[in-house]
């Protein structure tokens, strides 16, 4: 039986990941702070850790030999360097959850080579030393320049789903239903997204396929924020009030100033079949509305 460690993984797409691994008969160990209930009964092994304390991370690494390690809570170069050192000789593969945030805003789809972690200058620091985007770039750089085990960095866009604890999509649905103003700096900005279940399925594939390096994972197709709002209007029967400026509490969590989306052809060529955004997004909006 294969042994898989999931660091983080009790909420949202991490929960779906664990369920999929369990369905495959994998021996799953979850390592978290222990503050969130683990919804898997006795089917998983539970370890309590502080991901950002090296000694704590070392204890987790020493708890077994891991066929795969999923790291969903790595946010800076220091986090990645600790992992490279403590999991040396103890992990067959390492799957790091990265982000669309490594890319700049752009009017074109961002391919993996736009941000090259193999040459990105490393600056060692904690998650408090970098903004989120540079922290993820730094973590990728350390993994691909320092790790002695195979690593794949999965770059996800914003993840959507019924159980999204961030409530970002619900922000828009509730504002429109309540006829509250939504602040969108650029309604014509193009975005890419992925569904939580598909994100989990991709993470499983990222291990099983043996792929390495940075890789984009998003549903096929894009949508403008204006079209997203229109889908919610259709589902709720209400007309949105959209302005480029609004009070801070009413500014959209999707409110980018320029387009921000990725190219998923590398994963497709490697064999992963993505769903199409237009197939699931209207259905999700109707369900949440």
Sign of the torsion formed by the C-alpha atoms of 254, 12, 79 and 49 = positive
How many contiguous H segments (helices) and E segments (strands) does the chain have?
9, 13
| Domain boundaries, given as residue ranges, for the chain | 3-157+194-216, 161-192+221-259+276-288
Per-residue confidence (pLDDT) for residue 25, from 0 to 100: 97
Per-residue confidence (pLDDT) for residue 220, from 0 to 100: 98
Say if residues 253 and 127 touch (Cβ distance below 8 Å): no
Say if residues 172 and 229 touch (Cβ distance below 8 Å): yes
Per-residue confidence (pLDDT) for residue 284, from 0 to 100: 98
Dihedral of the alpha carbons of 232, 17, 137, 159, in degrees to the nearest 10:
0
Cα separation, 136 vs 124, in Å, equals 12
Sign of the torsion formed by the C-alpha atoms of 177, 179, 185 and 187 = positive
Q: Which of 48, 87, 89, 53 is nearest to 70 (CA)?
A: 87
Cα separation, 7 vs 184, in Å, equals 35
CATH class (in words) of the domain with range 161-192+221-259+276-288: alpha beta
The gap between the terminal CA atoms of the chain, to the nearest Å, is 42
DSSP state of 184: -
CATH code of the region 3-157+194-216? 3.40.50.720
Q: What is the pTM of this model?
A: 0.96
Per-residue confidence (pLDDT) for residue 37, from 0 to 100: 78
Per-residue confidence (pLDDT) for residue 96, from 0 to 100: 99
- 3-state class (DSSP) for residue 72: coil
Rounded to the nearest 5°, which phi and psi values hold at 74? -110, 120
Task: Establish how many alpha carbons lie within 13 A of residue 11's alpha carbon, considering only the half-sphere containing its beta carbon.
Answer: 15
Per-residue confidence (pLDDT) for residue 68, from 0 to 100: 99
Q: Where are the beta strands (DSSP E) in 213-275?
A: 213-216, 223-224, 241-243
Give the H or E element holding residue 181.
strand 181-183
Per-residue confidence (pLDDT) for residue 39, from 0 to 100: 79
How far lies 15's CA from each of 12, 141, 209, 236, in Å? 5, 27, 21, 29
Q: How confident is the prediction along the chain (289 residues), in pLDDT tens digits per residue?
A: 999 999 986 789 999 999 999 999 999 999 999 887 777 878 999 999 999 999 999 999 999 999 999 999 999 999 999 999 999 999 999 999 999 999 999 999 999 999 999 999 999 999 999 999 999 999 999 999 999 999 999 999 999 999 999 999 999 999 999 999 999 999 999 999 999 999 999 999 999 999 999 999 999 999 999 999 999 999 999 999 999 999 999 999 999 999 999 999 999 999 999 999 999 999 999 999 9
């Amino acid at each position: 039986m294969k042994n898989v460690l999931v660091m983080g993984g009790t909420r949202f797409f991490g929960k779906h990941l664990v369920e999929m691994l369990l369905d495959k008969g994998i021996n799953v160990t979850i390592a978290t702070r222990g503050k969130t209930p683990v919804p898997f009964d006795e089917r998983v092994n539970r370890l309590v850790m502080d991901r950002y304390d090296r000694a704590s991370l070392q204890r987790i690494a020493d708890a077994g030999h891991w066929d795969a390690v999923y790291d969903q809570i790595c946010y800076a170069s220091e986090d990645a360097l600790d992992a490279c050192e403590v999991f040396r000789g103890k992990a067959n593969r390492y799957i790091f959850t990265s982000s669309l945030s490594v890319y700049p805003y752009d009017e074109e789809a961002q391919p993996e080579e736009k941000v090259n972690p193999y040459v990105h200058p490393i600056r060692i620091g904690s998650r408090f030393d970098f903004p989120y985007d540079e922290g993820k770039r730094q973590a990728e750089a350390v993994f691909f320049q320092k790790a002695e085990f195979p690593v794949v960095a999965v770059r996800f866009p914003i993840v959507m789903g019924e159980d999204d604890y961030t409530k970002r999509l619900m922000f828009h649905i509730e504002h429109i239903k309540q006829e509250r103003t939504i602040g969108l700096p650029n309604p014509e900005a193009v975005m890419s997204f992925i569904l939580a279940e598909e994100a989990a399925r991709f993470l499983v594939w990222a291990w099983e396929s043996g792929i390495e390096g940075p890789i984009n994972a998003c549903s096929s197709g894009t949508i403008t924020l204006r079209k997203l709002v229109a889908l919610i209007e259709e589902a709720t029967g209400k007309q949105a009030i959209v302005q480029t400026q609004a009070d801070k509490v009413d500014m959209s969590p999707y409110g980018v100033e320029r387009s921000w989306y990725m190219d998923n052809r590398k994963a497709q060529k490697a064999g992963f079949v993505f769903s199409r955004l237009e197939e699931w997004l209207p259905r999700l909006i109707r369900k949440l509305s």
